[in-house]
Amino acid sequence: MRAVRRAFIVRAMRTVSDPPASGAQRKTADTVVSGHELVKSYGVGDAIVEALRGVTIDFPRGSFTAIMGPSGSGKSTLMNVLAGLDRPSDGWVEIDGARLDRMSDHELTLLRRRAIGFVFQSYNLLPVLSAEDNIALPVRLAAGRVDRAWMQTLIETVRLGDRVRHVPAELSGGEQQRVAVARALVTHPAVVFADEPTGNLDSASGREVLALLRRAVDEFGQTIVMVTHDAAAAAVADRVLFLADGSIVDCDERPSVGEILDRVKALQR
Amino acid sequence: MIQVVLRGMLERRLRSILTAMAIVFGVAMIAGAFITTDAINSAFGKIEQTAYKGVSAAVTTKTAFRSQYTPPKPFGEGLVTRIRGLGGVSAAEGQLEELGQLVVGGKAVNNTFAPTLVISTSGSSRPLFEQVTVDRGRLPTGPGEIALDDHTAAAQGLKLGDAAGVAARLGLQRVRLVGTVRFGGGTSLGGAILILAPLRDVQRWYGMQGQVTSVIVGARSGVSPEALVSQIRPLLPRGLQVRTGQQQASKETSDITSGLNSFLNPMLLSLAGAALLVGAFIIFNTFSITVAQRTHEFALLRALGASRRQLLAVVSSEALLVGSLASVTGLFAGLGFAALLGWLFDAAGFGIPRSGLPLHARTVIVALAAGVLVTLAAALAPALRATRIPPVAALQAASGAHGPTRFARLRAAVALVAGFALIASGLFGVGPAMSRLSTIGAGIVVVFIGMTLSARWFVRPLAALIGLPVARVFHEPGALARENAMRNPVRTANTAAALMVGLGLVVFVSVFAAGLKATVAGSLDRYVKAQYIVTSSQMYPLPAGAGPAIARTAGVAASSPLMMDQIEVNAHSVGATTDMLEGVDAGALLHVYKPDWIHGSSALVAQLGGDRALVERQFVKAHKLRLGQYFTVTTASGGRMRLRAIGEYNDPNLLPGVLVDTATFAAVSTSKDPYAWFVALAPGASRDAVHAALEQAVKPFPPAGVDSLSQYKQLMSDRLNQIVNMLYALLAMCLVIALFGIANALLLSIHERTREFGLLRAVGATRTQVRRIVRYESVITAVIGGVLGIVVGIAFAGLVTIALSDLGLSFSLPVSQLIVFLMLAVIVGVLGAVAPARRSARIDVLQALHQE
């Protein structure tokens, strides 16, 4: 275990100091998402801010990765770039073998529809649709047929019972977030990106949502990338990446909450 | 505080502009209405001033009242000679003016609404007076010579020396063009054609040998017009009057313009009022939405110590600023609108002389005041709502929708009831027409407000219903659009309201016109036995000479002319719908017409003649007449007669008023030319052959045309359509304004829902799908407005029909047109969504998702 972790750290460190030549990347067959030398800078001239300083990272299929880091470390930017919501200033992203930088906006949209699921901090359900319809929304947008059995599985998994017919305003925050998770899973996406999914929830609701994400990985083989600054949330993941100043500075496999807290403390110093 | 206002408006530039557009259009229409009528008045002023240039005095016949049906009573030429003999007179010319028709290449020149005037000249090659300026050639001097106005000559491609024809009372006259003239300093005559011919010719063509209808007199130098007038006055027989040239010019100008202004100005202004009303709904909606969206901001201002009055000031000064800027813009747009109106009139063949685009102080003041006041009034309720926001709202999550206030239901009901009551009292009440019309107008406004207030309760189900097919056909975007249209019924209702008003008026016009057409067709079917009707297509009188030609035609069993004149009854002022005198050939009447008897029988027709008259039911009602009773009729030309009502029939459309024999008619009216002939086919005669023979017979008498009964129905409906189409064109303005309203409300909603659109894009909605969601919501909203407008429009038309049922007005639903209007609503929805849809598709996913 330690050896694997070291290897990750070494590679992450190398991306900062000594980026490998482009195209020289080797990656395992079941890598779902990979970022290559991702740079993201905002502003021009003296006012330039580098949110990402060359990040290279792979996400294996069926893995649950948490990205942690202090505010301004670039973790949200990294997620947005990986998910194709934002374009990097340099470098590129591959999802399911497809290069995002070569895609038009329309192709990106279709990719999001097909291959990516999202869970946001503030649930972001459509207020006019019932929980059930919110879950089915991505399928319907693709004018696809809703897989009844899969929908049923998801609805059972989010444990809403009859309340799936209610509109979001009638659901608690935890319930809304579970609906959002089900919606992210409904298209069998290659990867689900979760941005602070427990940020707005009390700890009990948060635990339920995390358990749901964990089940998605364990039972459905779902790949999940989650940005969080909650150590307890990160501890549910298979591995935790630590970001600081736009670079990956560490990578732990299945760390404990305590280990994570230590690491965070170290980064903030 | 004013900084807050300015900053806010600049930040929301597009919304401010769209809001302003609603007012710009309304103000432009008001300004345009005034400018147009001013231009028309000024044109007529110029024409009349020129017509009496160099004329010191004018002798004309006195009229009992103004009537467009009555030609002036002619008098003997001897008077002209006697006036010439006076000491102060340098020149005197007797004149005749008649309606005629120019015939070029065997075809009558059809100038639809504008008349063709045949005006006499002295027979001298140089004008005695300066009424016209010779453009090319000379004035007509010998028999068969004419001069034309230069516009007509150019339009018809006539050169000096070319042959042409003049259709006059006694038939087609061969003439030759010897000159072209300019009139009224080059003012547009609005399509009117002027034919100048020597007096002798005009007298001969119209069977008025030795007669004239006016004398214009020039004074010797040193003799004032007033002195001349007092010299002439002792010479005049009864029934004639003399005025100075100036007086006569202004009298004629005011006669023409007051007639025009009494219908054109109110019509244009009420359309402008409708446009402003639509604008007001949009202003109200926009400010309501923005106040709701800015709850947080206002609460913060309150928390920081802003008083309620200051908040009121913020919102009202924004309204004031928008209103002022829009009104000023609208004023100038009014110039363009007036030009457009002129073009529209011309295109509809409704040529009216116009002169320039005069912008009077009155126009500026009224247009600006109306624009600013309407904006302020519409923004008042939202502004007051802003003041009621508690400071604590700054700390709470923003809540967009407002629940209905306690009295909402009551208010809506009261407005609806009061509105319909006002309309009904205007329709069925008594009092001067103008005040009743304004009562109806106020009622319509209140009904529209009531509809908007109550719409919140039925917009949800309506949106659900209308959205159903949209959701079925267009899948998820359709379903989402439907949900969006249902989520805030008050807002959807307010947005749809603007279109409801515009389309409601369009539907009213359409249903009312359909009723009129059905009424006319019904009367023709029920009462007319004649197979043919001879008329001019524009309801001008026809040359009397056509009568014998028609009667002589083989296959014609009987024919009767229809003479018409307006009358004053028992010295009461003239009622437009009832006080008509009609002359028919009593011997032929029953062959061409089947009276619907209330009192009496067809045997009475044979008794017509002398002082005996048949009276129509509405006439009897209006004058509280009993059968056998005598009543006195007076025509505008001064004819007076006591008539006795011997029978009563019912036909308020074709033969309103009083029906007499042609001989009786001629004894009281100066009208010599019938408006129509009814012609009955002899039994066994071939329809087609007789039709062709009749057409041949009336050929020398353009503009007479032969129509079968069904062709005549079509003609009447075409004539009505011309007017209806012009109204549609003007009401289209309201629809355009409504389009801006929908665009504006949608933009505001999209702004509010940026996050949702971001999310939709994140979960894989394409830009196209997002655009569709917006477009379909717009269409659903517009169709709601369309459906409500159609309902309201039908209700209004129904009320008016009931009110006018005495006049035989029937109710008819033009279903296919209503479907077209609904499609129009869909188009308005699609167009209104163009800008909002584009904006929604441009929403940046990342920014939207992280927006607070």
For residue A29, pLDDT over 60 is answered with no
CA distance B353 to B41: 9
Nearest-Cα distance to chain B for A212, in Å, is 19
Mean pLDDT, chain A, whole residue set: 83
Other C-beta atoms lying within 10 Å of the C-beta of residue A254: 14
- Kindly identify which residue of chain B lies nearest to residue A85, measuring between CA atoms: B846
pLDDT of residue A22: 40
CA distance B57 to B707: 46
Tell if the CB–CB gap between A85 and B760 is shorter than 8 Å.
Answer: no
Pick B649 or B30 by higher pLDDT.
B649
- Kindly identify which residue of chain B lies nearest to residue A87, measuring between CA atoms: B846
Q: Which CATH architecture has domain A61-87+100-268?
A: 3-Layer(aba) Sandwich (3.40)
Number of helices (H) and strands (E), helices first, in chain A?
A: 9, 10
Tell if the CB–CB gap between B762 and A118 is shorter than 8 Å.
Answer: yes
| Structure tokens belonging to residue B216 | 């214009």
Nearest-Cα distance to chain A for B438, in Å, is 44
Per-residue pLDDT averaged across A84-90, rounded?
A: 87
A99 beta partners:
A94
Tell if the CB–CB gap between B480 and A138 is shorter than 8 Å.
Answer: no
Phi-psi region of A91 (alpha: psi -120 to 50; beta: other; left: phi over 0): left
pLDDT of residue A8: 45
Confirm or reject contact between B846 and chain A (CB < 8 A): yes
Nearest-Cα distance to chain B for A218, in Å, is 23
Give me the percent of chain A exceeding a pLDDT of 90. 25
| Termini Cα distance of chain A | 27
pLDDT of residue A19: 40
pLDDT bucket at B632, cuts 50 / 70 / 90? very high
Confirm or reject contact between A269 and chain B (CB < 8 A): no
Confirm or reject contact between B483 and chain A (CB < 8 A): yes
Q: In what order do the strands lie in the sheet with A90-95?
A: A49-60, A31-42, A90-95, A98-99
Other C-beta atoms lying within 10 Å of the C-beta of residue B220: 13
Q: CB-based contacts of A266: which residues, under 8 Å, 6+ apart? A: none
> Distances from the Cα of B30 to the Cαs of A108, B365, B366, B503, B647, in angstroms?
52, 11, 8, 20, 49
Q: Identify from A40, A113, A141 which residue to disrupt to test chain B contact, counting B C-beta atoms within 10 A and taking the largest count.
A: A141
Helix (H, G, I), strand (E, B) or coil at A67: strand
Nearest-Cα distance to chain A for B800, in Å, is 43
For residue B481, pLDDT over 90 is answered with no
Closest CA to B635 of B580, B690, B554, B686: B580
Nearest-Cα distance to chain B for A199, in Å, is 14
**Hey, which of A9-13, B279-283, B595-599, B730-734 has the most confident mean pLDDT?**
B595-599
For residue B845, the chain A residues in CB contact (below 8 A) are 85
Closest CA to B23 of B329, B427, B260: B329
pLDDT tens-digit map of B109-138: 876 666 788 989 887 777 777 677 888 899
pLDDT bucket at A3, cuts 50 / 70 / 90? very low
pLDDT of residue B694: 92
Confirm or reject contact between B476 and chain A (CB < 8 A): yes
Helix (H, G, I), strand (E, B) or coil at B496: helix
Among partner residues B760, B766, B845, which is closest to A85 by beta-carbon distance?
B845
CA distance A81 to A87: 6
> Range with the lowest mean pLDDT among B424-433, B437-446, B464-473?
B424-433
Residues 126-185 of A with CB under 8 A from B: 126-129, 137-138, 140-143, 183
For residue B758, the chain A residues in CB contact (below 8 A) are 124
Other C-beta atoms lying within 10 Å of the C-beta of residue B451: 25
CA distance A26 to B445: 75
> Distances from the Cα of B64 to the Cαs of B67, B260, B453, in angstroms?
9, 20, 52
Tell if the CB–CB gap between B764 and A109 is shorter than 8 Å.
Answer: yes
For residue A95, the chain B residues in CB contact (below 8 A) are none
Gyration radius of chain B over CA positions: 32
What residue has token string 């500026």?
B364
Nearest-Cα distance to chain B for A178, in Å, is 16
> Distances from the Cα of B799 to the Cαs of B274, B454, B505, B747, B807, in angstroms?
19, 21, 14, 38, 14
pLDDT bucket at A125, cuts 50 / 70 / 90? confident
Beta strand A239-244 with A64-68 is parallel
Check: CB of residue B660 under 8 Å from CB of residue B616: no
Tell if the CB–CB gap between B483 and A128 is shorter than 8 Å.
Answer: yes
CA distance B234 to B279: 61
Alpha helices in B557-655 (DSSP H): 586-592, 617-623
For residue B612, pLDDT over 90 is answered with yes
pLDDT bucket at B593, cuts 50 / 70 / 90? very high
Other C-beta atoms lying within 10 Å of the C-beta of residue B567: 31
CA distance B608 to B663: 10
Nearest-Cα distance to chain A for B463, in Å, is 14
Mean pLDDT, chain B, whole residue set: 84
Alpha helices in B210-263 (DSSP H): 225-232, 245-261
Using H for helix, E for strand and C for coil, what is the string for B129-163? CCCEEEEEECCCCCCCEEEEEHHHHHHCCCCCCCE
Per-residue pLDDT averaged across B49-57, rounded?
A: 82
Pick B368 or B17 by higher pLDDT.
B368
pLDDT tens-digit map of A154-163: 888 888 888 8
For residue B479, the chain A residues in CB contact (below 8 A) are 140
Domain ranges of chain A: 61-87+100-268
Tell if the CB–CB gap between A143 and B475 is shorter than 8 Å.
Answer: yes
Tell if the CB–CB gap between A106 and B766 is shorter than 8 Å.
Answer: yes
pLDDT of residue B534: 92
Tell if the CB–CB gap between A86 and B846 is shorter than 8 Å.
Answer: yes
Peptide bond between residue B477 and the one before it cis (omega within 30 degrees of 0)? no
Confirm or reject contact between A85 and chain B (CB < 8 A): yes
Tell if the CB–CB gap between B767 and A109 is shorter than 8 Å.
Answer: yes
Closest CA to B709 of B536, B554, B558, B528: B528
Among partner residues B475, B486, B761, which is closest to A109 by beta-carbon distance?
B761
pLDDT bucket at A11, cuts 50 / 70 / 90? very low
pLDDT tens-digit map of B776-789: 989 999 999 999 99
pLDDT of residue A27: 45
Give chain A's length. 269
Q: Identify from B763, B767, B849 which residue to disrupt to test chain A contact, counting A C-beta atoms within 10 A and taking the largest count.
A: B763
Tell if the CB–CB gap between B756 and A127 is shorter than 8 Å.
Answer: yes
DSSP state letter for A189:
-
CA distance B606 to B604: 5
CA distance B499 to B789: 7
Residues 20-79 of A with CB under 8 A from B: none
Tell if the CB–CB gap between B476 and A85 is shorter than 8 Å.
Answer: no
CA distance A60 to A81: 17
